[in-house]
Amino acid sequence: MKAAICLHGILLFCGLFFNALGSFVGINIGTDVTNLPSAANIVAILKAQQITHVRLFNADAHMLNALSNTGIEVMVSVTNEELLGIGRSPSTAAAWINQHVAAYVPATNITAIAVGSEVITSIPNIAPVLAPAMNYLYKALVAANMNYLIKVSTPHSMGVIPRPFPPSSASFNTSWNSIMYQILQFLRNTNSFYMLNAYPYYEYVKSNGIFPLEYALFEPLSTAKQIVDPNTLFHYNSMFDALVDATYNSIAALNFSGIPIVVTETGWPWSGGASEPDATTENAETYNNNLITRVLNDTGPPSQLSIPIHTYIYELFDEDKRPGLVSERNWGVLFTNGTAVYDLKLHASETIDANSSNVFCVAKPGADDQSLQNGLNWACGRAGQANCSAIQPGQPCYIPNTYHNHASYAYNDYYQKMHSSGGTCDFEGTATTTTIDPSYGSCKFTGSSSSTTRGLFPSPALGPIGPSSGGSRNIVHFSMVVTVIVLLEFNVKHFVA
């Protein structure tokens, strides 16, 4: 259903998930999105934010081309619609590998293939072809001499484990034991990993109050609310850890060991309908912030402390075209215009909040292009006297080439120069202040503590060339502000042996 890099540094905003020692938090990129940004713009966001682990729900040619030569580790997916043909035909599997993998490697850093998505629980009638499909794809990788670079697995929901608590006594649904045995045997033989979609949100909702909300959100539990496995006496500080441990114990129940678990999907919806009171921005922010902190401590669940839990958050953008409950459409950490749904942080001490010393002026989400163009022309013209050189073609802040991004830069440059003498951050209602530094990559906004832009572009202020003046800026039809962080250092590390 649902749908990194390693660094010593700081995480100041959403979409960026890193670790200094080995474990990582990556991001899922869904496509059921109205006004989905182009592949080039999505990758521009990933590169600017130095995200190095992503999972795609397909093997889209545009995304794979755009991801080439970025170093980003990519998990591609065989869709459920493609699965039956691949599971029945080695030649179809070989053709899929040739078309969707071999054609892009090594320029595109594909490191894993997710075969289907929650097939056993969502389309059980096709489940018997899962193991054959994985084998055929793996053999095609062997033939292409890529089996040492790319792992093959399949994502499972927690629905394959009917009673996940207590974790120590968890086991797979016995009606699927034959299929699960074949899959686990394949994972062990190919040195691959188990893909788990773990959603404490759903488990909490289903529990009808048996488990406290704090337990689902990684929040501290009072003495009276401690969650303890009665068989092992392991204390579980989060439902996330308990779900992972339940899966490890289910694997062990079929006499398999040494198969690590990667959480391919997890997250929390930030909005829901009247029947979904716990789908809130506050809970989503709490869950994902605490998840990041938890994963990046490089430990596993109580039964497997030495195995870190590499994890992908669901998801980059809201998939607003998904059917079902309101919450189904509200899992993204960014809106499609590039602005954040809520703040993410690495540690509490690194949170940027209202007490930050720097204030920036940026374009409001949703402001229309014509109003932003008017604001740009004013800010960069004689009246505003903002230095807009950095947003000209070939300069550090030109990409993303959108009115929203360029207006944010121009508005802020004007505001930083003029607010002490009465200049405001309004621009006819298209601007707002923020304490989040909007600098990204080599684009440094005036006022940033790391800004070196002032003085780098000493030429006179240049107004943007808009369509009304006959220019050819080729502004795309969505607005995107890329709000990112400055990284101190990074160390890329593969998550598979």
| Catalytic residue annotation | 118, 265
321-to-45, 116, 349 alpha-carbon distances in Å: 22, 20, 37
Asked whether the bond before 319 is cis by omega within 30 degrees of 0, the reply is: no
Please list the alpha-helical segments (H only) found in 150-238. Answer: 177-189, 200-207, 213-216
The DSSP line for 236-276 is ES-HHHHHHHHHHHHHHHTT--S--EEEEEE---S---TT-
SS3 (DSSP) at 283: helix
Residues in the chain: 497
- With 0-12 CB in 10 A as exposed, 13-18 as middle and 19+ as buried, what is 459? exposed
Residues 146, 150, 152, 156, Cα dihedral to 10°: -170
- Alpha carbon distance 198, 268 (integer Å): 11
In single-letter form, the type of residue at position 244 comes to V
Q: Are 281 and 19 in contact (CB under 8 A)?
A: no
Q: Are 411 and 379 in contact (CB under 8 A)?
A: yes
Gap between the terminal Cα atoms of the chain: 27
Q: Any long-range contacts for 250-256 (C-beta under 8 Å, 24+ apart)?
A: 250/160, 250/161, 250/170, 250/171, 250/172, 251/184, 251/194, 253/170, 253/171, 253/172, 254/172, 254/177, 254/180, 254/181, 254/184, 256/184, 256/185, 256/188
